[in-house]
Copies of this chain bind each other. A is one copy, B any other.
Amino acid sequence: MTVKVAINGFGTIGKRVAEAVLKQDDMELVGVTKTRPDYLAKAASLRGLLYVPEEKLQDFEKSGIEVAGTLDELLRKVDVVVDATPGGIGKEYKKVYEKYGVKAIFQGGEKHEVAGFSFSTLCNYEEAHGKQYARVVSCNTTGLLRVLCTLHKEIGIEKVRATIVRRGADPHETKRGPINAIVPNPVTLPSHHGIDVRTVLDIDIATTAVVVPTTIMHLHVLNIVLKENVSKEKILEALEAAPRILVIPSEFSGIKDTAKIIEMARDMGRKRYDLNELAVFEESISVNGKELFLMQAVHQESIVVPENIDAIRALATNVSKEESIRKTDSTLGLVK
The chain A residues found within 8 Å of chain B, CB to CB, are 15, 36, 38-40, 43, 63, 161, 163, 165, 168-169, 171-184, 187-190, 206, 208, 210, 212-219, 221, 223, 251-252, 254-260, 262-264, 266-267, 269, 271-273, 281, 283-286, 288, 291, 293-295, 297
> What 6 pairs between A and B have smallest CB-CB spacing?
A181-B259, A266-B272, A174-B178, A183-B257, A172-B263, A163-B163
Closest chain B CB from A330 CB (angstroms): 19
Expressed in whole angstroms, the Cα–Cα distance for A223 and B163 within the complex equals: 10
Contacts of A259 on B, CB cut-off 8 Å? 171-174, 178, 180-181, 183, 215
Contacts of A63 on B, CB cut-off 8 Å? 251
**A180 and B273 in contact (CB under 8 A), knowing A208-B293, A251-B63?**
no
User: Which of the residues B38, B177, B212 comes within 8 Å of A212, measured between beta carbons?
Assistant: B212
Expressed in whole angstroms, the Cα–Cα distance for A174 and B63 within the complex equals: 36
User: Which of the residues B174, B206, B252 comes within 8 Å of A183, measured between beta carbons?
Assistant: B174
The answer on a CB contact under 8 Å between A216 and B258 is no
The answer on a CB contact under 8 Å between B217 and A221 is no
Stoichiometry, as copies per complex, reads: 4
The answer on a CB contact under 8 Å between A163 and B206 is no
Expressed in whole angstroms, the Cα–Cα distance for A271 and B222 within the complex equals: 32
The answer on a CB contact under 8 Å between A177 and B180 is no
User: Which of the residues B176, B206, B273, B281 comes within 8 Å of A175, measured between beta carbons?
Assistant: B176
The answer on a CB contact under 8 Å between B269 and A183 is no
Closest chain B CB from A71 CB (angstroms): 21
Contacts of A183 on B, CB cut-off 8 Å? 174, 256-259
Closest residue to A253 on the B side, CB-wise?
B38
Expressed in whole angstroms, the Cα–Cα distance for A272 and B223 within the complex equals: 33
Contacts of A285 on B, CB cut-off 8 Å? 189
The answer on a CB contact under 8 Å between B172 and A210 is no
Contacts of A260 on B, CB cut-off 8 Å? 172, 174, 181
**A272 and B272 in contact (CB under 8 A), knowing A165-B212, A210-B165, A221-B208?**
no
Expressed in whole angstroms, the Cα–Cα distance for A252 and B178 within the complex equals: 20
Contacts of A213 on B, CB cut-off 8 Å? 179-180, 212-214
Closest chain B CB from A167 CB (angstroms): 8
Closest chain B CB from A27 CB (angstroms): 20
User: Which of the residues B179, B217, B221, B273 comes within 8 Å of A176, measured between beta carbons?
Assistant: B179
Closest chain B CB from A296 CB (angstroms): 10
